[in-house]
Amino acid sequence: MRFKNKVAIVTGGGRDIGRAVSLKLAAEGAKVCINFANDEVSAEETLATILAARGQAILHRADVTKNSEVEGLIAATQAAFGARINILVNLAGGMVARKALVEMDEAFFDQVLDLNVKSAFLMTRAVVPHMDRGDAIINFASLAGRDGGGPGASIYATSKGAVMTFTRSMAKELGPKGIRVNALCPGMISTRFHDTFTKDEARKSVAGATPLRREGRSEEVAEATAFLASDAAAFVTGVNLDVNGGLYLS
C-alpha cells in the first residue's frame, strides 16, 4: 500500500493505459480522481472496478486543454479528498490523425499541441500549489518523441518531444520544493490508440523488431508509473523513462 492516504489525479484515466494506471494507484491505497473527456462508458467501468475492490475513486469530466475545466477538476478532487494533491499523472493526449505536412492546417497543428502539451502545462500549473515535498508528477511522452514518430505523426512526435523537455525543465524548477517530475515514453503498447492509428502489418513488424518480440501491455506501463510516483524513486527526477521492450535504446 505505497500510496495509502495519498491523492492522485489521472488525466485520461478512464481507459487503456489510463485505466491501468488508475487501477494500480487505487489498488495500492491512493484516492484517485479519474479524469475523462469523452468516453464516459469506459471511465464508469474503471470507477466500478475500483469501487468493487473497495478502493476510493471519483470520476470527473474535463477538457484539460481548457483552464476553466482544469480548475473545476482540481476543485472536484479537493472537495472529495481534501486540499493536498500528491500525485499528478498527465496522461491525456493523442495523435488525432495521421497527416503528412502538406495535409496539415494550422487548426490541426494547434489541436495536437494543445492536447499533448498545453494540457500538461495547465494541469501542472494548477496542481503544484497544492503539492508539497515528496509529491510527484508523471508526464506521458512517447517513443515518437525520441525517434520522430511514424508516417504522418510528425506533429504528434513534436508535441511529445516538447513534453520531454517540459519534464526536464519542471524537474529543475520544482526540485527545490521537493516535487519530482518525470515522464514515461511508451513504445508499441497494445491499446485502442494503435487499433485506431496503426495498421496490423505495421504492428506485427514493430513487434517483430522489438528485442522482446511483442507489444507491451497497459499494466506494464502502469507499473512504471507507480514506481515513479512512489518513494522508491525518491531520488529520480527529470527522467524520460523508456517502456518499449528495447525497441529504441536512448
Type of residue numbered 134: G
CATH number, domain of 60, equals 3.40.50.720
Residue 250 in domain? no
| Cα(246)–Cα(188) distance, integer angstroms | 11
Rg (C-alpha) for the chain, rounded Å, is 17
Q: Are 128 and 179 in contact (CB under 8 A)?
A: yes
Please check whether residue 239 lies inside any domain of the structure: yes
Q: Is 248 among the domain residues?
A: no
The Cα 202–Cα 116 span in angstroms is 24
Nearest to 141 by CA among 167, 122, 118, 169: 167
Q: Which of 126, 147, 178 is nearest to 242 (CA)?
A: 147
Residue 126 lies in a domain: yes
Residues 189-235: pLDDT tens digits? Answer: 998 777 777 788 888 999 999 999 999 999 999 999 999 999 999 99
Q: Round to the nearest angstrom and report the end-to-end CA distance of the chain.
A: 32
pTM of the model: 0.95
The phi and psi torsions of 61 (rounded to 5 degrees) equal -80, 130
**Per-residue pLDDT tens for 47-90?**
999 999 999 999 999 999 999 999 999 999 999 999 999 999 99
- Asked whether residue 67 is domain-assigned, the answer is yes
- Return the pLDDT at 195: 77
Number of domains in the chain: 1
Query: How does DSSP classify residue 233?
Result: G
Does 1 fall in a domain?
A: no
**What integer pLDDT is reported at residue 192 of this predicted model?**
77
pLDDT at position 193: 74
pLDDT in tens, 131-175: 999 999 999 999 999 999 999 999 999 999 999 999 999 999 999
Active-site position among 156, 179, 181, 216: 156
To the query of whether residue 156 is one of the catalytic residues in this protein, the response is: yes
Residue 2 domain-assigned? no
**For residues 60, 63, 67 and 72, what is the CA-based torsion angle, rounded to 10 degrees?**
-20
Domain extent at residue 84 = 7-243
* Alpha-carbon span 203 to 206, nearest angstrom: 5
Question: Is 66 part of any domain?
Answer: yes
Listed in sequence order, the DSSP H helices in the chain are 16-27, 40-52, 67-81, 106-113, 119-127, 144-147, 154-174, 192-197, 200-209, 218-229
One-letter amino acid of 56: Q
User: What cell was used for 157?
Assistant: 512526435
